[in-house]
Every structure is written in structure tokens, then in C-alpha cells.
């Protein structure tokens, strides 16, 4: 469905059409020419910023196939001279045009929209609220921290007719910005998290900042906030006390809608939260103990309770909530240290919260406390007073050592006399100095511009030199691309068996990303995989491909849905259901794979048994044998015909219409007429294992990298590795890399059958691959210890690597050992 058509733009933005080739639809919005195009008719807004000018990248966007542009009229002469086969609109301000367009687009939707603002916790509350709401509604949440003047319109443009709920966060840095964002978000409900000193330079004082943020709620029905934040309470009462429904919670005042009492449970790692109203009390348990997390949780609880959620609906999700990436996280450090990574934000309020969290950890381990902190930016407080307050805060929390990074904190070094202190003007200077750490708990706190994540990386414990990187942004782009190939109402089941084709881990970030981005179903091979997903907070329906009858009890307990592929398995289910509760099932039909499935000759007795218990049949499906091969097209069509005939026979006796699904990844692309109600998206979601014709439209999600451990110089005649399988035919340079067959790097790659990439050049694997190491030929390359070695990724396709040993990318991905560290990024 298009967002609009080009002809609509002029009236929406008060722009002027400069060039027009056709009234093309607008299917997505692009502001960065580097972004992958996922739909046929993107529209490029040439945004002019402080350090960039989108007009400089129009040629690059044009080369990528973009043919619709919104440009600033002052640049029109130079641009129109170069392009004639495009749609181009002139406007006075491209950012305002983007905002106006998305405000128009948002007005077409009638649904509940929660707008969130505040100083801290916006992203966390938004993400956690999404976890709760998505169990009941098809919910859109703004991606990560898309809360700026550009980010908000991009987030809102993701709205689709299938969404029932939306959550958008918004942040501002100066007067007048929130009024614009409010017109774009058009929230029906509002939530104000808190107020602090971050981003204060654009306002006269805190009062003005609260008033400006409150503009988000101008057209809301209901506003939620903590009454204990006095300035927020007084401002909202004054602005909206007579016109809106204000719903408050408090830790201290009984004059509130929801009163919180917190209890520590000494024999448990949980905290009890009792929330009382005039009518009843509700008690919840959480693993979070720090002040900031509790406040964020209660924001969610107050909103959910006020909007019809029951205690029993909330509690399971609450126990499964996790800290959000790019917020305070606890990591293992070198030499017995623990690291509290809060390296993306820095102000006194969030520093105080982080120090509270540090105190809790320190009590458990009795480690010395070290704080690594950068200059505090965008504060209205005079520098000397600001850093005196920071010094007092550190002394109050009995910090043993301070490492300051930045010219301003270094200038005020004399204020920090209570701690052992050292200062560096830049992060680079710190990394070069390499201070030593041992048996400490280290808080790393910094403004983003200082890139203190590099400090975390330097002191983080690295248990394995090999890393499987997973690009969640690429995963999201691939999913979006496949969605463009589907009818709007077609559901998607993501196949995440075998730890999401080797990409996943016990943290399940990848599956959580799929859940946040609107996947309808998950498919796993075995019950244990589904149980682990449930234990990690995954709430989507989960189909288990290979169930066993002794697991039916656990499937009921964990709300898993078994595939019934034989009459015998159905009979065992019937016996189970005579005494146990109902369970949704999926019926697999045999149409030509000859693996698992109910044969057509057994349909009648199968239906007879099915009717004796009337379980809920969630879906009927089958599996295509050769959907990727043109040579097998006739066979595929016969499978589809057989599937339709068998599904019709079952449905006619059931009296209801389960979901039908037949297509796998390649089937989605080659047989769109058989989309039915749902498709199963597998290896293509990860950007590999698909035909060369469409590979350029997808991005590989996984990148396996390692580093060089040692360089050796060999003479002609020297042997390499076990059994002397490689003999140097000339002088050569080899490198040893810390990856072997125990990590999933097959022994077959040895003796020059496999290659890796170093500095952009292919390097053959020499000698036999060992259990934990391999050797590569780096002759002629200026390689050194610590250099990156790419096993596969965007630069070197895993499909190409697989072909070298006569296998497929599926096998290589699923063989990657769980001891290989997983890293997820966006």
C-alpha cells in the first residue's frame, strides 16, 4: 500500500513540482542514500543539517534507483539541469516538508497511539510497553531511539492498516520542536517519564523545558505520570487539569490514582511491587532492583492497569523483561573486574541512578569502585558548580577511583580530592595510556561524542577471539523487503529453528527483534527450542515442527503448538486430550517431500479421529520440495494442487477455516499465487541462501570474524600443521587464527580448500584445520597480530564459502559453536 502519490505532495507541503514523469506511488521515505531500498517507489528527502547536506547525495541516490526527490528550492537550478527522468518537488524547507507529509499520512489512521516524552527512560518505557501491548494488539513501536525531528516522522511513516496500537517517543532540545512532533504523532494517550538536566541548553530553565515537552499532550485524552515529580505535576495540572484525564502514581502521596509500595524479598532475587487503587490492590514481582528501572516499570504498570490489562496478563511478561541495549548493562571485565556499561548518556541525574546500581553490585562482591566519566555536555549549570556537584555525588557513593575524560572535567581536576584521580583530555589518550584494573567494579559513563564504548571494549573480558556479528538492522531490512512481496493480509512465520540458523544465542536478541517488528508466528524444530524462547520473554505463537507425545504436557504449560504429521501422533494427542486441556495444533500434509506428513489416502480416517476431540486446528500446511528450481516447477504446481485438495477436504469436515501455508523463502518469490494465509520465511530472512537474481536486494545478517593470533615466516620445504599436509613450495608468511572445527570452521576447509579475507584479499587456509585454530597464507599482505580476519560476511559470501566444500549455507551457519561470542548491532 502506498503512503501517498506524488501528486499529493505539492498540496501537502505547499511545494512546487519541478519535474514530473508520472504520478508514481510513494512506498517508503529515504533520507540517507546509504540506506537499502526495500520498496519499488521510494521518495528521497534531501535534508539539510548542521554537518551534512542531503543534496550532495542526490546523485548517489539516483544511481541506486531512486526517482522521486524533495529538494530545497535554492538548489533547484543545479539539480534540474542534471535529471529529467525523475519526479522532483521544490520546497522551502525539506525537513518541514518531511514532517508535513508524515503528519498528513498519520491523520489517515484511527487507532490508539501512546506518545512518550521525558528526560530519561523514554526508550526503555517504549520498548517495555511494546512487550506488554504486543501480547494483545498488533503494535508498532518507534525503532530504538527514533525520537528526533527526523526520527519521529520516519517512525510514524511505518504505520500500516494492520496495526492496532502504536507507541512513539519524542525528545527535544529547544523551544518549538515538540509542537511539530505532536502534529506528527497525534497521540491519543501521553506518558511523561521524568525531568532532568539533559539537553537543557535550548531552554531558559527547567520550567520552560517541562512546558515545552508537555506540548506533546495538547490533543491527548489521558496523560500518565509520576506525581512525585513536582514540577511535572504542577505544570500538567496547570495546563491540562481542567481539560484532560490525568492519571498519576506515587511512592509517597496517597492523593494519587496508583500508590506504590516496594518490598525487598530477602530470600529471593526479586522485588515485590504492590500497587493500590481505591478499589483493589495488585502485587507484581520483578527482577529489577534499581530506582530507575522500578520507575520505568511502574509507568508501564499504571498505564496497563488503567487500560484493561489484568494482573495475570502482566506478571509473566514483567518477569521476562530485560535491560534494553544501549542502557546500563553489567558485563564481565578483565582481571576479575565487573563493568557497568552506561557509555551513551551523561548527566547528573542518570549518573546518580547508575551509582545507585553500582552500590547494589558492590555490596554483592565487595569490589573497589571506579568511575570512568566524560565531560557532561548540554548542561545549563555553570561548569564549576556542575563538577563540584559531581565530586560530591562520587564522594557520597564512596567511589575509590575516578578517571575523567575530556578537557572540561580535566580543567576542574582539583575539585575531585576524595578519590584517587587521573584525567585525560581525549578517549584516545586514555586508550594509549592503558590504566591497569584489577578486582574493581567499573562504571563507564559518558556522552556519546566521547565514544566511551571503546573504553568498555578495551577492558571487557574477551573469552574468545572469534565473534559472530549479527546485524539486526539488516534483518529488519530483509524482513521489510519480503513484506513488499506479500499481500497486505498475508501473515509471516519466521523459522528460527537451530538457534535462528546459527545466528541466535541464549540471549535471543534476534528473535526479540522479529517479535518487535511484527512477525506473526515462529517456527522451531523441537519443543526445547520453544521452551527456551518462552523463558526469555517471547510471546508470539510458536509452532513445533517435530513434537513427541511425551512433551504434550510441557507444550500446554508453555503454550507451544505441535505439528501433527501422522495418524498415530493424532491418536496419541487424542488420548492426552481426554484428560488434559485443549492445545492448538498444526496439520502437516504429505504432498511430495516424502519426509513427514499425512498422506492423502489417510485423510478420511485422520478426519474421523480429529472430530472425536475437536482440538483447535491453527493451520494446515505442507512443504515444497524444489521451489527454487525452474526444472521442478511442474512438480511444485502438482504439490500445490494436491495441498489445496487435501486442505479443502479437512476444512469441509472441521467447520472452521484454519490458516493455510505452503511457501518457503524461495516459494515466496517464485509462486506468489500460493501465498494463502501465511508464508514461512527461513534462510532468506538472514540474507543468504537465495538466488543470485535477488541477492543484491538483501543483506547478509551474519558476519563471522576472528583475529590474527601470531605471524610466522616459513622457508621453502617447511611443513604446516598436523600430519604435515601442506609443504611450503617457496618462502611464505602464515598467520594463525583462533578458530577451528570445534567452533564450526569445518576441517574440510584445510589444505587450500577454504579461504578467508584479510585486508580485502583472499587468503587460503593451509595445513589441516585444528580443533581450536587454523593457519592461513598471508604472503604478500602487510598483516600483523590483531588484524581482523573475515570468515564470511558481506565481503565474502557464506554461499561462496559453502560451495567450496560442496555444502549449503544452512549447514555452515548452524554448525557455528555456542562458544563463539555473539554480538548484535543495529
Domain count, the chain: 5
| CATH of residue 780 | 2.40.37.10
Consecutive 10-residue averages of pLDDT for the chain (826 residues)? 92 94 94 78 89 85 92 74 88 96 96 94 89 87 81 92 92 92 97 81 88 96 97 97 96 94 84 92 91 93 96 91 61 81 72 74 72 82 88 90 95 92 93 88 86 85 73 84 88 82 59 83 91 83 92 89 92 76 88 92 88 82 89 93 94 87 91 95 84 77 90 94 91 94 89 90 94 94 90 84 83 81 70
Note whether 665 and 719 are same-domain residues.
no
Note whether 666 and 802 are same-domain residues.
no
Cell 532475587, residue? 269
Residue 818 lies in a domain: no
Give bridge partners of residue 271 from the DSSP assignment: 264, 286
Residue 822 lies in a domain: no
Three-state DSSP at 19 gives strand
Can you tell me the distance from the alpha carbon of 704 to that of 727, in angstroms, rounded to the nearest whole number? Answer: 28
Helix axes 603-613, 567-577, angle to 10 degrees: 10
Grid coordinates given for 370: 571506579
Give the domain range for residue 590: 469-689
Contact (CB, 8 A) for 17 and 10: yes
Strand boundaries in 723-806, DSSP class E: 726-727, 732-737, 755-758, 761-766, 774-777, 788-792
Residue 170 lies in a domain: yes
pLDDT at position 818: 74
C-alpha atoms less than 13 angstroms from C-alpha of 540 in its C-beta half-sphere: 29
Residue 36 lies in a domain: yes
Contact (CB, 8 A) for 582 and 558: no
Domain boundary among 435, 459, 483: 459
Contact (CB, 8 A) for 754 and 765: yes
Burial class of residue 50 (count of CB atoms within 10 Å of its CB; 0-12, 13-18, 19+): exposed
Domain boundary among 320, 338, 370: 320
Note whether 725 and 776 are same-domain residues.
yes
Contact (CB, 8 A) for 209 and 197: no
Helix axes 206-213, 177-185, angle to 10 degrees: 20
Neighbours of 657 (CB within 10 A): 11
Note whether 262 and 182 are same-domain residues.
yes
pLDDT at position 507: 47
Residue (of 669, 671, 613) closest to 638 by Cα position: 671
Q: Is this structure's pTM higher than 0.85?
A: no
Helix axes 94-106, 177-185, angle to 10 degrees: 30
Note whether 443 and 506 are same-domain residues.
no
| CATH of residue 134 | 3.40.1190.10
Note whether 28 and 167 are same-domain residues.
no
C-alpha atoms less than 13 angstroms from C-alpha of 612 in its C-beta half-sphere: 14
**CA 490 centroid distance within chain:** 23
Q: Which helix (H) or strand (E) holds 651?
A: helix 633-654
Neighbours of 52 (CB within 10 A): 11
Backbone angles phi, psi at 392, to 5 degrees: -65, -40
Note whether 309 and 334 are same-domain residues.
no
Looking at the chain, the whole-number percentage of residues with pLDDT higher than 70 is 92
Note whether 756 and 799 are same-domain residues.
yes
Note whether 53 and 147 are same-domain residues.
no
Note whether 83 and 114 are same-domain residues.
no
| CATH of residue 362 | 3.90.190.20
Exposure string of 678-699, with b = 16+ CB inside 10 Å and e = fewer, is bbbbbbbbbbbbbeeeeeebbb
Can you tell me the distance from the alpha carbon of 565 to that of 85, in angstroms, rounded to the nearest whole number? Answer: 55
Instruction: Encode pLDDT of 575-598 as tens digits.
Output: 887 655 678 999 999 999 998 999
Residue 695 lies in a domain: no
Can you tell me the distance from the alpha carbon of 373 to that of 355, in angstroms, rounded to the nearest whole number? Answer: 12
Note whether 310 and 289 are same-domain residues.
yes
Can you tell me the distance from the alpha carbon of 820 to that of 478, in angstroms, rounded to the nearest whole number? Answer: 24
Note whether 667 and 549 are same-domain residues.
yes
Domain boundary among 390, 424, 459: 459
Residue 824 lies in a domain: no
Residues with catalytic annotation? 497, 722
**CA 122 centroid distance within chain:** 16
Residue 646 lies in a domain: yes
Amino acid at each position: 500500500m502506498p503512503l501517498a502519490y506524488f501528486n499529493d505532495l505539492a498540496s501537502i507541503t505547499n511545494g512546487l513540482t519541478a519535474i514530473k514523469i508520472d504520478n508514481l506511488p510513494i512506498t517508503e521515505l529515504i533520507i540517507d542514500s546509504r540506506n537499502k531500498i526495500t520498496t519499488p517507489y521510494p521518495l528521497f528527502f534531501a535534508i539539510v543539517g548542521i554537518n551534512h547536506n542531503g543534496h550532495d547525495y542526490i546523485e548517489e541516490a539516483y544511481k541506486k534507483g531512486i526517482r522521486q526527490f524533495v529538494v530545497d528550492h535554492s538548489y533547484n537550478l543545479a539539480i534540474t539541469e542534471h535529471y529529467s527522468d525523475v519526479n522532483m518537488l521544490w520546497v522551502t524547507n525539506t525537513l518541514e516538508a518531511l514532517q508535513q507529509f508524515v503528519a498528513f499520512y498519520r491523520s489517515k489512521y484511527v487507532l490508539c497511539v501512546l506518545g512518550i516524552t521525558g528526560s530519561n527512560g523514554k526508550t526503555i518505557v517504549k520498548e517495555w510497553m511494546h512487550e506488554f501491548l504486543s501480547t494483545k494488539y498488533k503494535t508498532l513501536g518507534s525503532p530504538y531511539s527514533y525520537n528526533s525531528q527526523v526520527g519521529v516522522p520516519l517512525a510514524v511513516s511505518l504505520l500500516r492498516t494492520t496495526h492496532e496500537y502504536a507507541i512513539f517517543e519524542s525528545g527535544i532540545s529547544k523551544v518549538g520542536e515538540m509542537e511539530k512532533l505532536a502534529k506528527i504523532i497525534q497521540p491519543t494517550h501521553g506518558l511523561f517519564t521524568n525531568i532532568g538536566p539533559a539537553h537543557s541548553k535550548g531552554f531558559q530553565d527547567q520550567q520552560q523545558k517541562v512546558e515545552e515537552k508537555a506540548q506533546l499532550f495538547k490533543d491527548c485524552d489521558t496523560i500518565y505520570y509520576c506525581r512525585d515529580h513536582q514540577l511535572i505535576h504542577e505544570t500538567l495540572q496547570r495546563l491540562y487539569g481542567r481539560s484532560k484525564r490525568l492519571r498519576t502514581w506515587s511512592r509517597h502521596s496517597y492523593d494519587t490514582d496508583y500508590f506504590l509500595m516496594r518490598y525487598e524479598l530477602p530470600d529471593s532475587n526479586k522485588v515485590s511491587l504492590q500497587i493500590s487503587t481505591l478499589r483493589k490492590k495488585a502485587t507484581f514481582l520483578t527482577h529489577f532492583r534499581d530506582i530507575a528501572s522500578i520507575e520505568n516499570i511502574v509507568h508501564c504498570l499504571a498505564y496497563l492497569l488503567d487500560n484493561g490489562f489484568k494482573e495475570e496478563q502482566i506478571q509473566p511478561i514483567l518477569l521476562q523483561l530485560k535491560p534494553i541495549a544501549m542502557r546500563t548493562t553489567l558485563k564481565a571485565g578483565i582481571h576479575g573486574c565487573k563493568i557497568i556499561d552506561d557509555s551513551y548518556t551523561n548527566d547528573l541525574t542518570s549518573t546518580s541512578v547508575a551509582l545507585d546500581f553500582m552500590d547494589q553490585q558492590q555490596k554483592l562482591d565487595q569490589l573497589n569502585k571506579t568511575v570512568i566519566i566524560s565531560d557532561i555536555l548540554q548542561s545549563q549549570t555553570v561548569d564549576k558548580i556542575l563538577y563540584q556537584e559531581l565530586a560530591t555525588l562520587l564522594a557520597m557513593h564512596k567511589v575509590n577511583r575516578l578517571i575523567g575524560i575530556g578537557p572540561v572535567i580535566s580543567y576542574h581536576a582539583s575539585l575531585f580530592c576524595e578519590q584517587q584521580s587521573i584525567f585525560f583530555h581525549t578517549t584516545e589518550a586514555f586508550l594509549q595510556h592503558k590504566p591497569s584494573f584489577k578486582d574493581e567494579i567499573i562504571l563507564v559513563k559518558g556522552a556519546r561524542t566521547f565514544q566511551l564504548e571503546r573504553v568498555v571494549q578495551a577492558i571487557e573480558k574477551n573469552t574468545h577471539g572469534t565473534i559472530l556479528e549479527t546485524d539486526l538492522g539488516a534483518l529488519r531490512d530483509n524482513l521489510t523487503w519480503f513484506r513488499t512481496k506479500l499481500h497486505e493480509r498475508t501473515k509471516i512465520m519466521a523459522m528460527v529453528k537451530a538457534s535462528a540458523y546459527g545466528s541466535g544465542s541464549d540471549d535471543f536478541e534476534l528473535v526479540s527483534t522479529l517479535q518487535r517488528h511484527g512477525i506473526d508466528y515462529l517456527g522451531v524444530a523441537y519443543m526445547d527450542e520453544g521452551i527456551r524462547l518462552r523463558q526469555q520473554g517471547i510471546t508470539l505463537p510458536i509452532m513445533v515442527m517435530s513434537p513427541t507425545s511425551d512433551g504434550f504436557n510441557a507444550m500446554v504449560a508453555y503454550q507451544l503448538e505441535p505439528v501433527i504429521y501422522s495418524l498415530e501422533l493424532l491418536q496419541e494427542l487424542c488420548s492426552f486430550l481426554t484428560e488434559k486441556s485443549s492445545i492448538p495444533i498444526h496439520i502437516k500434509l504429505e504432498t511430495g517431500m516424502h519426509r513427514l506428513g499425512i498422506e492423502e489416502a489417510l485423510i478420511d480416517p485422520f478426519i474421523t479421529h480429529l472430530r472425536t476431540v475437536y482440538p483447535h486446528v491453527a493451520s494446515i500446511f505442507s512443504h515444497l520440495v524444489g521451489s527454487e528450481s525452474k526444472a521442478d516447477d511442474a512438480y511444485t504446481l502438482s504439490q500445490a494442487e494436491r495441498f489445496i485438495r487435501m486442505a479443502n477436504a479437512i476444512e469441509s469436515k472441521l467447520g472452521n477455516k484454519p490458516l493455510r501455508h505452503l511457501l518457503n523463502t524461495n516459494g515466496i518469490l517464485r509462486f506468489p499465487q500460493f501465498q494463502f494465509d501465511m508464508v514461512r520465511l527461513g534462510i532468506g530472512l538472514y540474507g543468504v541462501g537465495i538466488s543470485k537474481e535477488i541477492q543484491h536486494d538483501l543483506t547478509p545478517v551474519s558476519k563471522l570474524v576472528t583475529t590474527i593470533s601470531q605471524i610466522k615466516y616459513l622457508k621453502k620445504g617447511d611443513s604446516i600443521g598436523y600430519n604435515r599436509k601442506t609443504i611450503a613450495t617457496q618462502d611464505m608468511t602464515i598467520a594463525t587464527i583462533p578458530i577451528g572445527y570445534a567452533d564450526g570452521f569445518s576441517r574440510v576447509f584445510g589444505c587450500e580448500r577454504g579461504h578467508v579475507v584479510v585486508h580485502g584479499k583472499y587468503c587460503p587456509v593451509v595445513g589441516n584445520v585444528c580443533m581450536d585454530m587454523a593457519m592461513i597464507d598471508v604472503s604478500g599482505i602487510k598483516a600483523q597480530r590483531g588484524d581482523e580476519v573475515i570468515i564470511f560476511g558481506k565481503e565474502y559470501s557464506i554461499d561462496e564459502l559453502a560451495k567450496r566444500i560442496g555444502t549449503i549455507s544452512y549447514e555452515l551457519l548452524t554448525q557455528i559453536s555456542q562458544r563463539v561470542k555473539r554480538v548484535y548491532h543495529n
